[in-house]
Amino acid sequence: MRTAGQYPGDREPLLLRAAAHLELAGDRPRATVLYDDLLSGSPENPQLIKALKAANLWEYGHEAEARAILDGIRALPPADAGAWQVAAEALEAHDELEAAQEVFSRAVEALVPSADDEVPYPAQSLLAGRHRVRRLLGLGHDDHDVLADRLHRGTVPLDELHDPKRVWALGSSDPAELAAEITRLRSELGTYRTALSRPFPVALLLWPTGELAELLAAYPELESEYPTHAEHLAGIEAALRELAAAGTPNLGVVRGTVPSYEAFAASEAASPANPTLLPQYATTLAARGRATPWPPLRTAPCWCGSDRPYAQCHGTP
C-alpha cells in the first residue's frame, strides 16, 4: 500500500481501515490478505486483528478456520474489549447465541470496572452487545444488563431496541410486523458490525486557541467557519452529542495544526482556504490514529484542553 509506506508509524490503522473498506465492498479474500500481512509483523493489537480476520473468514465460507481462531482467542483471559466484542459478534451473526453470550459475559466480567467507577466506551459496547444477545435468548436482566440500560445514550431505550418479542408484547399477531421487527434487529446488528470493522472514529476537528488564531490570520476566508474560539468549541460538543443521539458509535476529536493542515492541502492540490478540506483533514487524522475518543470520562480532562474535568467544562448538561 503506497500510503501505508509513506507513513510507516500509521501502517496498522491504515491497513485496518483498508481491510474494513474491502470487507464492506465484498472483497473478503483481499481483506484476509491484509489481516495476514498485519499479523506477520508485530501488530499493536494482534487479538483484535485475529478476531477481525476470523469474522471475515466466516463470512465467506471458511468456518473451520474462523472457529479455530476464535477458540484461540477464547483460550486466553480477556484483555482487549474490541477483540472480544468482534469474536462474540461473529458467533452471534451465525446464530450461536449461547456461545456469543458466554464470550460477552467473560469479557464483561474481566473488563467492566466495579460499579462505582465510570465505564469506558469499549466496555459499554460490550455491555450493550451482551444485553442484546441475552434479550435474543429471552433471559432476564442481571446487574450487568441493568448497567447496560443505565449507560445507553440513544433515544430508543435498549430494552425496546433489543426486544425480539416487542411486536408480540404489543398484542400484534401480524407476521408482516414480525418480519419487519426481525429486519430491524438485523440492521441494528449490521450497524454494530460496521462500526466495529471501522477501526477509526468519526472525528471532529479541534483547533487549539493559538493554532486557530494562526489559521485565521493566514486564511481569513475561514473566519465564517470559526467566528470565535468559544463558539468553535461549543459547536464541536453540540455536533458530537447530536451524532451520539443519532446512534453514531465510535466518536472522537482530532487536533489540527496549521503546518500539518497546509501539508494536507498541498497533498490534495487544494488551497487551505477551501473550507471543504476541513472535514477531509479531520478524517485523515482520525484514520491515522490521531483521534481522542469522545466523550471523555466525567472526571477526566475535557477534550478541549482546558485541564478542567469534562463534567465541569464542555460536559455540563
Stretch that binds Zn ion, among 50-58, 103-111, 151-159, 262-270 (CB under 5 A): 151-159
Binding part of the chain for Zn ion, among 43-51, 209-217, 272-280, 307-315 by CB under 5 A, reads: 307-315
Please identify which residue in the block is written with the cell numbers 503506497: 2
Q: How far apart are CA 148 and CA 40, in angstroms?
A: 37
Asked if 291 is part of the footprint of Zn ion (rule: CB under 5 A), the reply reads: no
Give the Cα separation of 40 and 58 in Å (integer).
20
Query: In which residue are the cell numbers 465505564 written?
Result: 119
Name 301's bridge partners. Answer: 309
The number of residues that bind Zn ion (CB under 5 A) is: 8
Q: Does 314 bind Zn ion (CB under 5 A)?
A: yes
Nearer to Zn ion, 189 or 218 (CB): 189
Q: Which of residues 159 and 188 has its CB atom nearest to Zn ion in the complex? A: 159
* DSSP-derived secondary structure letter, 94: T
Piece in contact with Zn ion (CB under 5 A), picked from 8-16, 39-47, 72-80, 308-316:
308-316
* Torsion (CA) 79, 69, 28, 122 in degrees, nearest 10: -20
Enter the C-alpha cell of residue 119: 465505564
Q: Tell me which DSSP letter residue 1 carries.
A: -
Smaller CB separation from Zn ion, 111 or 313: 313
State which H helix or E strand residue 213 sits in.
helix 209-218
Place of cell 465564517: 224
Judged by CB, which is closer to Zn ion: 91, or 158?
158
Interface segment toward Zn ion; rule CB under 5 A; list 43-51, 120-128, 156-164, 174-182: 156-164
Question: H or E element: which one contains 254?
Answer: strand 251-255
Which amino acid is residue 221, in one-letter code?
E
Provide, rounded to whole angstroms, the least separation between the CB of residue 183 and Zn ion.
21
Stretch that binds Zn ion, among 12-20, 50-58, 212-220, 305-313 (CB under 5 A): 305-313
Measured CA to CA, the distance from residue 82 to residue 157 in angstroms comes to 23
- C-beta closer to Zn ion: residue 210 or 275: 210
Among 83, 126, 287, 313, binds Zn ion (CB under 5 A): 313
149 is a site residue for Zn ion (CB under 5 A): yes
Among the residue ranges 84-92, 106-114, 149-157, 250-258, the one whose residues contact Zn ion (CB under 5 A): 149-157
The whole-angstrom separation of Cα 294 and Cα 251 is: 5
Under the criterion CB under 5 A, does residue 302 sit at the interface with Zn ion? yes
Does 111 sit near Zn ion (CB under 5 A)? no
Q: How far is the CB of 179 from Zn ion (least distance, A)?
A: 24
Contact positions with Zn ion (CB under 5 A) in 188-227: none
How far is it, in rounded angstroms, from Cα 202 to Cα 240?
9
Question: Closer CB to Zn ion, residue 31 or residue 302?
Answer: 302
Interatomic CA distance for residues 22 and 53, integer angstroms: 12
Report in angstroms the alpha-carbon separations of 8 from 14, 15, 90, 159, 198: 10, 11, 30, 44, 20
Which position among 159, 177, 225, 262 is part of the footprint of Zn ion (CB under 5 A)?
159
Taking the least distance from each CB to Zn ion, the nearer of 73 and 147 is: 147
Q: How far is CA 187 from CA 46, 109, 141, in A?
A: 28, 28, 24
Could you give the string, one character per residue 83-102, with x where binding to Zn ion holds by CB under 5 A and - elsewhere?
A: --------------------
Q: How far is the CB of 131 from Zn ion (least distance, A)?
A: 6
Rule CB under 5 A: which residues touch Zn ion? 149, 158-159, 302, 304, 306, 313-314
